[in-house]
Amino acid sequence: MTGKRAPSVVGVITAARKAQKFFFGPREVLIPCYKDFAHVPSLQGRRVRWLLNAQSGRRTLESTSAFFKAFPRALGAHLFAENVPEKHATELIKRFGGKYLIAGPSGVGVLVAGSLKLGAIGGTDAAQIDAGRLATRGSVAVISTSGGMTNELIRAVVRAGKRVSFSLSIGGDRFPVTSLTEVLRLAEADQETKAIAYFGELGGVDEYEIVEMLRSKKLSKPIVCYIAGVIDEAFDEHMQFGHAKALVARQDESARAKRQALGDAGASVPETFDEFIRALELLPLAAVHDIVTDVTTYMERRPSILTTRKVVDLDSVPRFVKNKKLVKQSDNAFPAATLRALLGKEVDPVTAACAGNIFELLIDHGGHVSGAVNTMITARAGKDMVSSLAAGLLTVGPRFGGAVNDAALAWHEGVREGSRAADFVEARTKKGALLAGIGHRKYRIGIPDPRVEALAEFTTLLKKHPHYDFARQVESVTTGKNGNLILNIDGTIAAILLDIFAEKEKMSAEELGELLDAEFFNALFIIPRSVGFIAHFLEQKKNDEGLFRLPDDLLFERDNDENK
Amino acid sequence: MARVKLSEYKAKQLLLGSEYRGVQLRSGEKMEIPKGKWVAKVDQGVKKRMKQGLVAVNKPRTELQAKIREWEKKGFSQFVLEPYLAHEPSEEQYFSLERVREGIRMLHAREGGIDIEAHPEAVQTYIVHSLTDAAKIAQRSGLPEAFLRAMLEAFERNFFAFLEINPLVIRGSEAHLLDAAVLVDSAGEFFVGTSDRPGWTERDVVKTKMSHRAEEAVASLASTTPASLKLTVLNQNGSLFLLLSGGGGSIVIADEAKLLGAGAELGNYGEYSGGPSREETYLYAKEVIKLMLDAKPGSAQGGSASGRRALVIAGGIANFTDVRSTFLGIIDALAGVAATMRMHGVKVFVRRGGPNEREGLALMRDFLEKEGLFGTVHGSDSEITSAMREAVTFVRV
């Protein structure tokens, strides 16, 4: 609505998820979420100027301090919470007062028309933002102790034919971090601000700051004030109104006394709210050039419920034959295309070659393995291809095929934490956990797995290979106990892929962690093995031996009471 | 979010620790007055107790029992007993601490007592920026350093907002706190107290006035939501009942009643804000509507002469409180009693703006027209005070 081309929100601090979807104009954008300020990448962090703190009153002091520690070059914040203890508010003043512009505690934030809207100030839907003409920089500064009245005043300014230059909701708390005097100084210094509209309430003595500034001529721009709370005169005892500060403790805190003092100092102080609105009409008029927005398109926006990316470019059709000739493809074209689809980016030739090698190695490992057996049994029960394939794939798990990702998790953790292999093995065995990626039934020390040897050649193409090295160190510990506990094919695939991704694809430990969370590394098994399962299915259909039944002598049937 | 009064008993416990010899008595609980002579005081945050006869000085048990029964008849329910300290009026000093922007403001006068307000020139002001200032200020004011330090530490530890000791009697390094009043910051409750040194809780906050049942219901509802829900009963037989929204806007609307000379006709004050849900708004509105239906306007206790009553549903232009869902909550509350309201000739006057304003106002208008309760319905294009103005005109006819 202001003509900005990209969202200025850098991120959301929340433990709940990785990104949140918001509208930016008519389209949706994903804003990244971070666990805490320390997790904001420095490239993004450099753009951080403002904090919108929506935490509870109990946590406001702590989180605001953490923000300014992480982003000392920021400009300010809005602290939304009510119920920030007075003691915490004065502590915030001590730490940050005068250095940053901080709206709150409480209130609805700060607005610079056309540039900045920090908080709910001025409304939260497009119709409200349009009605308040918040995209147009105007000439009247709106300053209010009350959040709701901030918006009321903004609208009143618009109704009076003017526009808002900036607006700040001081908040109804007793100790706003940025004081009224500081905000008035900003209004006085701001060249675009020609006049000030102020809303205050009974309670507190802040309005005497205005009186003082008017008297000492530090405030020369016209100011129209409405001080609410004459109703208090109708009660026997002073009443606590909605805002913390809104209780008259001394005579000079009453609405009437403050009105009198402001009027004496030269402010315009209408008696009723209707007169206040008329007084706004009398303020100097500045030229108004609104940015016209069609609000209906904003009001008709509907958030999507599913988000994904373009996995392949549907517009670019691969061509393998041209001019009656085969087109020469680049090496490992299919593995490269597969990784491009999975990772969303072009991969290095070494990465593609490694995937190609893995794919070819893992297509099948004989008809004896459980996934293949399940596929064949299902096929012989007369089921279709997808059912038979699914039966095989559903076997993939911690004991069959699913060890690649588990092994990758182990190597990743070991390298990230700089563990010694011996301690690492000790810690795992103590917990009674199996070591994924270690151990083989057939191969052992002296009878090496030829597939492992083949893949290990990739390390010669890398400058360094910490995950592979770590896996080998673990192996040297475990084989000291049992010669079968060698680095197996799952563990090798995991280690080498981690090293290649880190060096050739320049992935950070965090990016690798995200792939691990999503079980990415199991894909390197599932993709080629699906081919193997389909081959076993086709073979069963060809042979058509009828329903499979386990021969009686191959099944051990235990009596029900045997273990009594 | 607000400064609330602590009982004198709890305040002195926090200030003096195990040295404090006071005894708390509460009506409805077992009341045991120990032997010996005591000073007994009503401990419910009442000002000028002495002048109101709410203090009994240096009296034995039987006399105190009678005195407390007398106070109970006046509606008081919480008392404190303290040992009597014989002293000269000339010994009385004034001492107070208040949290201010810069730190803690300390006021001290060597002459104190009940008449302190008549001698403002005797009062010295100090600003305490940190506890390390205690020694310097003790020296300048002549107060014992240990006393000052203990007061400041208790003040900080317990999230006090205001502390007044008047009179304070100083004898050498000994300080005697004859009367003490403490306001705590209610937002500090979560942070006060440790397992070996308890702080204060909601229970130690005194209620200066009898709470109305509806006020209690709203207070307990408010404690279960991050939204803000407040209700004060003003005149049970008033003619104008208010469902206001927004902390500031609600004062402006109530002001309008006062400016039109109808301040005494307000049955209640209060507000909902901070985005309550439909269900929360329903429960809140139900309490206000019940108050209105229980009222007998035009009775001897005041209210409008016409006997008419009006419900004013009004507020400013909300930034984020959803008009549609809060209005649905109010309609839910009105729906159950629409027939009774019609019977009493109640009309409803509405002004509200904010998110989903159009839908919210349309729903309200349809409902009120269908039920024959329609007074007016205004949106953000009309003045915030419009509904109140029309409601006042209506009850006055």
Pairing of strands A76-79, A50-53: parallel
Q: Do A148 and B316 touch (CB under 8 A)?
A: yes
For residue B91, give how far its alpha carbon lies from the nearest alpha carbon of chain A (Å).
27
For A232, name the nearest residue in chain B, comparing CA atoms only. Answer: B255
So what's the pLDDT on residue B300? 45
Which positions ≥6 away from B238 have C-beta within 8 Å?
B264, B265, B266, B267, B268, B295, B297, B302, B303, B309
pLDDT along chain B (397 residues), means of 10: 87 93 88 86 87 89 89 90 90 93 92 74 90 93 94 96 93 91 92 88 77 87 87 92 92 94 92 91 96 79 69 93 95 95 95 94 97 96 94 91
Q: Do A83 and B252 touch (CB under 8 A)?
A: no
CATH tag, B213-396: 3.40.50.261
User: What burial letters (b/e) apply to A18-33, b meaning 16+ CB within 10 Å?
Assistant: eeeeeeebeeeeeebb
Task: Write out chain B residues lying below 8 Å of A299, CB-based.
Answer: none
- Any idea where the domains of chain A sit in the sequence? 73-297, 338-543
Which positions ≥6 away from B289 have C-beta within 8 Å?
B241, B311, B333, B334, B337, B341
Nearest CB to A85; choose among B188, B248, B269: B188
So what's the pLDDT on residue A487? 95
For residue A112, give how far its alpha carbon lies from the nearest alpha carbon of chain B (Å).
16
Burial of B298 (0-12, 13-18, 19+ CB in 10 A): middle
- Any idea where the domains of chain B sit in the sequence? 20-83, 89-177, 213-396
For residue B364, give how far its alpha carbon lies from the nearest alpha carbon of chain A (Å).
20
For residue B391, give how far its alpha carbon lies from the nearest alpha carbon of chain A (Å).
16
CATH tag, B20-83: 3.30.1490.20
Which positions ≥6 away from A431 have C-beta within 8 Å?
none
Report ipTM for this prediction: 0.86
The CATH fold assigned to A73-297 is Rossmann fold (3.40.50)
Q: Do A231 and B232 touch (CB under 8 A)?
A: no
- Max distance between CA atoms of chain B, in angstroms, equals 78
> Distance from first CA to last CA of chain B, Å, rounded?
40
- CATH classification of B89-177, choosing from 3.30.420.270, 1.10.10.10, 3.40.50.460, 3.30.470.20? 3.30.470.20
Q: Do A124 and B320 touch (CB under 8 A)?
A: yes
3-class SS at A369? coil
Task: Write out chain A residues lying below 8 Å of B5, CB-based.
Answer: none
Q: Which of A525, A464, A474, A528 is nearest to A500 (CA)?
A: A464
Tokens of A57: 């009153």
Catalytic residue of the set A88, A238, A243, A440? A243
- Max distance between CA atoms of chain A, in angstroms, equals 108
So what's the pLDDT on residue A244? 63
Q: Tell me, what amino acid is at B340?
A: T
Q: B384 — contact with chain A (CB < 8 Å)?
A: yes
Find residues 226-255 of chain B whose CB sits inside 8 Å of chain A: 226, 228, 230, 232, 234, 245-252, 254-255
> How many Å apart are CA B8 and CA A75, to the nearest integer?
45
Nearest CB to B101; choose among A175, A199, A244: A175
Task: State residue A182 phi and psi, 5-degree precision.
Answer: -65, -40
Q: Do A87 and B250 touch (CB under 8 A)?
A: no
Q: For A223-247, what is the HEC assignment? A: EEEEEECHHHHHCCCCCCCCCCCCC
So what's the pLDDT on residue A215? 94
Q: Do A241 and B269 touch (CB under 8 A)?
A: yes
Q: What is the pTM of this model?
A: 0.82
Q: Do A86 and B315 touch (CB under 8 A)?
A: no
Q: Which of B335, B265, B272 is nearest to B295 (CA)?
A: B265
Q: A220 — contact with chain B (CB < 8 Å)?
A: no
So what's the pLDDT on residue B30? 81
User: What burial letters (b/e) apply to B80-108, b meaning 16+ CB within 10 Å?
Assistant: bbbeeeeeeeebbbbbbbbbebebbbbbb
Tokens of A350: 């070494």
Q: Do A242 and B273 touch (CB under 8 A)?
A: yes
> How many Å apart are CA B237 and CA B232, to the nearest integer?
14
Residue in the structure block whose two tokens are 């309200």? B364
Percent of chain B with pLDDT strictly greater than 70: 96
For residue A152, give how far its alpha carbon lies from the nearest alpha carbon of chain B (Å).
5
Task: Write out chain B residues lying below 8 Å of A229, CB-based.
Answer: 251, 255
For A146, name the nearest residue in chain B, comparing CA atoms only. Answer: B248
- Cβ A229 vs Cβ B251: under 8 Å: yes
Can you spell out the DSSP letters for B86-138? Answer: ---GGGEEEEEEEEETTEEEEEEESS-STTGGG-GGG-EEEEE-SGGGHHHHH
Q: Tell me, what amino acid is at B283?
A: L
So what's the pLDDT on residue B15? 95
> How many Å apart are CA B241 and CA B233, to the nearest integer?
10
For B155, name the nearest residue in chain A, comparing CA atoms only. Answer: A87
For residue A122, give how far its alpha carbon lies from the nearest alpha carbon of chain B (Å).
6
Cα torsion angle, A50, A54, A58, A63, sign: negative
So what's the pLDDT on residue A40? 92
Strand partners, A200: A227
> How many Å apart are CA B262 and CA B396, to the nearest integer?
9
Task: Write out chain B residues lying below 8 Å of A87, CB-based.
Answer: 99, 156, 159, 185, 188
Mind listing the pLDDT tens digit of every residue in chain A (564 residues)? 888 899 999 999 998 788 999 999 888 999 999 999 998 998 889 999 999 999 999 999 999 999 999 999 999 999 999 889 999 999 999 999 999 999 989 889 999 999 999 999 999 888 899 999 999 999 999 999 888 899 999 999 999 999 999 999 988 788 999 999 999 999 999 999 999 999 999 888 889 999 999 999 999 999 999 999 998 887 777 777 767 666 666 668 899 999 999 999 999 999 999 999 999 999 877 777 888 878 888 888 888 989 898 898 888 888 899 999 999 888 999 999 999 999 999 999 999 999 999 999 999 989 999 999 999 999 999 999 999 999 999 999 878 888 899 999 999 999 999 989 999 999 888 887 778 899 988 888 889 999 999 999 999 999 999 999 999 999 999 998 888 999 999 999 999 999 999 999 999 998 999 999 999 999 999 999 999 999 999 999 999 999 999 998 899 888 887 655
Task: Write out chain A residues lying below 8 Å of B384, CB-based.
Answer: 152, 273
Active site residue A243: yes
Nearest CB to B257; choose among A119, A120, A231: A231
Pairing of strands B55-59, B174-177: unpaired
